[in-house]
Amino acid sequence: MEGADKEPKLHSAVYSGDALRTYVADSGFLSSKRRNCLEELEDYLRGREKRVMGVCGLHRTGRTTLMCQAIDQLGLYADSLLVICSAEDSLTDLRPVLCEERYRYLFLDDMDRIPELEENCGFLAEELAQSGKKVVLCGGDGDELIRLKAGVLADKLHLLKTSYMSFREYQRLFGGSLEEYFLYQSEDSGERIREIALKYAEDEENGPDLSVFLGQGGRILKAMDALAEIPENGRSYHTTFTQPGLIGSAGPVSAYDEAQMREERLKDIVVTDLLKDPMVSGSNVIAKYRSDGGEVFDIVLINKKNRRCVAIRVEDTDRRAENQARDLTDKAVCKELQEYFGGRLVGRYVCYHGPAGRAFKVQYMNCTEFLGRGSVFREMMEKLEGN
């Protein structure tokens, strides 16, 4: 590759110093808006963490962009090395250049191409990371990194995941509406998900027709943040895609008509947003709830410390109707919910497309404002805290 500093006998492109600066500047990645997770990668590079960092996510979710932006933000080109890996080079071949003392920051892109990666990657953590070098791995669909995390590198590898994008981040990056977010999926993500599911289903009894939600492929997709598990009654789980445009595109959906499918997708978007928000999920239990009589609350949040809880119905409409609040105001149903979770119900909400306000003894909140963490959302969180 022209402009690369090539070590003898290496087929991989190796960049450092001015060659790396030029590569990053010419890549076009610096013109892209920064993902929220860039800060996590920057913290790793500047911190004292002595593990390997793996940038893991579906195709076209900005992994290489993230890495190049981090290199640019770091600005220490003389101390940094970028390797675009070739299938013709093993880690044994790359080891001499990776171990050079002058390089403190090591970035390996397309690392999934490296032959016998699992068998030979131990020194990246045990020698390089432990000696103070920062090692960032990127490449493939992310399943290779998941396998390393589950196996040879285990607690020596930290994964930075790019597959999930919240509505707030989507709006900041693209300025899109909630309706556009409904349709969002990264390019080719559906095909990549199916490929991963089929790849790992081949070794299982049910064969390659296995649902993407199940088996080893499903476990890998969950670990990549491509799938999310939504607790139901705090015990069983409902599995969904994290990318809104994929929700409802696989699995048992034949019983739903188009309107029901939209509403189920909206519910999954709202619940997934809460589950993936560390500020919310860190201090609260999040679950769907179905009572013995069949009444459903789409979201129940329970504060882990004080057991205060709120119940939420999600409606794909901009109109208020009394039946939306029926279960939320049913004393017997609410009592059953409180006894089930051992909590005290302090708020009842309907999340819909219309304006915020009170009606039918419940609080209405707008979906877009809720996902954007508007005033009603903040008031709800304060109720949970007891403020």
The structural domains of the chain, ordered by start, are 13-162 (3.40.50.300), 168-267 (no CATH), 277-385 (3.40.1350)
For residue 248, pLDDT over 50 is answered with yes
For residue 316, pLDDT over 50 is answered with yes
Specify the pTM: 0.89
Q: What average pLDDT does the structure give for the chain?
A: 90
Whole-number pLDDT of residue 148: 94
Q: Give the orientation angle of helix 215-223 with respect to helix 189-201, to 10 degrees.
A: 140
Cα separation, 309 vs 301, in Å, equals 5
pLDDT digits (tens, 9 = 90+) for 136-152: 999 887 889 999 999 99
Whole-number pLDDT of residue 3: 44
Give percent of the chain above pLDDT 90. Answer: 74
Who wins on pLDDT, 12 or 5?
12
Whole-number pLDDT of residue 209: 47
Whole-number pLDDT of residue 258: 76
Give percent of the chain above pLDDT 70. Answer: 93
pLDDT digits (tens, 9 = 90+) for 175-203: 999 999 999 988 888 888 888 888 887 66
Both tokens of residue 170?
């989507």
Rounding to the nearest 10 degrees, give the CA dihedral for residues 105, 111, 115, 121.
40
> Is the separation of the CB atoms in 274 and 281 below 8 Å?
yes
Fill in the DSSP letter of residue 112: G
